[in-house]
């Protein structure tokens, strides 16, 4: 906690403590209501992200399972409208290997509660839910410099691991005012009396007061979220959250006769990638019935109308047209 060295701030703080002291002595009922209100608001402000949904995928190189916990956190910025980028924030990839479970990794990511309410576990539109999950997967890849499989499974449980570790993983303090508790309990008579009767209550109240000050009275640019680089928007305001948004490229899908005599056909998919200069910027993941493409600017998830021979797929990128052509032979 930063020390208040500004004489004006010290004077204001002194007035507040004096006011509370007088309230506790002359109007205990009002003082009790004030403490209860601060306690309630403090608990709300200090809530860590809450588990919502768990998705399992794996590392593309080793097939080691990776669990992505999608969490709900009201401190994440809410998108302004349906066309705005969806802010996402998360922790680091954590390796787990114990007697109960085989080797696996866990990463926690957080979205605004209304985003998960609309596109999360209860979403009835599969394409919208899938877009949110792939956003979480892409965020995990970008933040940890890894490549994950585009295939995933939604688990029956909402959280993998110990949900008590969420606060640590997101870099949130466990007891932000713990060091100040004893000082205030000794120096401020009304609080000292409550602390003697109910130490846990006063500790929670003080935690709540600190959170309220940091979120409501401080300038927003002073609030730091660990691991996120701030930048200035067009209005000069500091933006705290990484906004992951990718374009769906335009594409055409046609059938092509490869061998008329044997009636052998292929599916040809042409994908326009205007912002891509080299094929190495793209990650192409093809299975028997799906084609998925991902790059810094684009994301495409395409269900194929036919089952294809994965081992015979060919891809060619035109640097002049910025176009990727994928030929997918259809299984006989």
For 162-215, how does the pLDDT look when each residue is reduced to its tens digit (9 = 90+)?
A: 877 787 777 776 644 444 444 444 444 444 444 444 445 444 444 444 333 333
238 in any annotated domain: no
130 and 110 both lie in a single domain = yes
115 and 145 both lie in a single domain = yes
131 and 149 both lie in a single domain = yes
pLDDT bin (cut points 50, 70, 90) of residue 110 is very high
Residue ending a domain, among 169, 186, 201, is 169
55 and 154 both lie in a single domain = yes
3-state helix, strand, coil in the chain (%, to 5): 35, 30, 35
236 in any annotated domain: no
- Domain range enclosing 280: 251-329
239 in any annotated domain: no
165 and 82 both lie in a single domain = yes
Percent of the chain whose predicted confidence (pLDDT) is above 90: 29
54 and 42 both lie in a single domain = no
126 in any annotated domain: yes
Percent of the chain whose predicted confidence (pLDDT) is above 70: 68
Q: What is the dihedral of CA 79, 81, 82, 85, to 10 degrees?
A: -40
Q: Which two tokens stand for residue 28?
A: 């205990």
pTM over 0.85, yes/no = no
Sheet containing strand 251-259, edge to edge, reads 251-259, 264-272, 323-329, 314-318
Residue 269 sits in a domain whose CATH number is 2.60.40.790
Q: Total structural domains in the chain? A: 3
What pLDDT shows up at residue 100?
Answer: 63
207-237 pLDDT, tens per residue? 444 333 333 333 333 333 333 343 444 555 4
């Amino acid at each position: 906690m930063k020390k208040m060295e500004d004489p004006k701030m010290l004077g204001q703080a002194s007035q507040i403590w004096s006011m509370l002291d007088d309230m506790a002595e002359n109007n205990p009922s009002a003082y009790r209501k004030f403490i209860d209100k601060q306690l309630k608001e403090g608990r709300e402000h200090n809530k860590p992200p809450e588990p919502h949904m768990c998705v399992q995928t794996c590392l593309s190189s080793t097939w080691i399972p990776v669990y992505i916990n999608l969490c709900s956190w009201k401190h994440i910025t809410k998108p302004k409208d349906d066309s705005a980028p969806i802010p996402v924030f998360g922790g680091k990839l954590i390796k787990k290997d114990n007697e109960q479970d085989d080797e696996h990794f866990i990463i926690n990511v957080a979205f605004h509660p209304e985003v998960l309410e609309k596109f999360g576990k209860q979403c009835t539109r599969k394409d919208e839910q899938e877009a949110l999950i792939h956003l979480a997967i892409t965020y995990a890849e970008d933040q940890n410099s890894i490549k994950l499989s585009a295939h995933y499974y939604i688990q029956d449980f909402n959280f993998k691991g110990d949900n008590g570790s969420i606060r640590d993983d997101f870099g949130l303090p466990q007891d932000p005012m713990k060091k100040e508790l004893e000082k205030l309990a000794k120096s401020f008579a009304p609080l000292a009396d409550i602390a003697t009767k109910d130490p846990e209550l006063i500790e929670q109240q003080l935690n709540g007061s600190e959170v309220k000050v940091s979120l409501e009275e401080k300038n927003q640019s002073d609030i730091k979220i660990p691991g996120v680089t701030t930048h200035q928007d067009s209005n000069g305001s500091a933006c705290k959250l990484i906004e992951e948004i990718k374009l769906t490229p335009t594409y055409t899908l046609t059938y092509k006769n490869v061998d008329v005599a044997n009636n052998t056909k292929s599916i040809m998919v042409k994908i326009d990638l205007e912002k891509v200069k080299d094929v190495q910027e793209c990650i192409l993941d093809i299975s028997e019935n799906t084609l998925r493409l991902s790059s810094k600017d684009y994301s495409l998830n395409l269900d194929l109308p036919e089952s294809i021979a994965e081992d015979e797929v060919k891809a060619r990128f035109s640097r002049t047209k910025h176009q990727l052509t994928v030929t997918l032979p259809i299984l006989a």
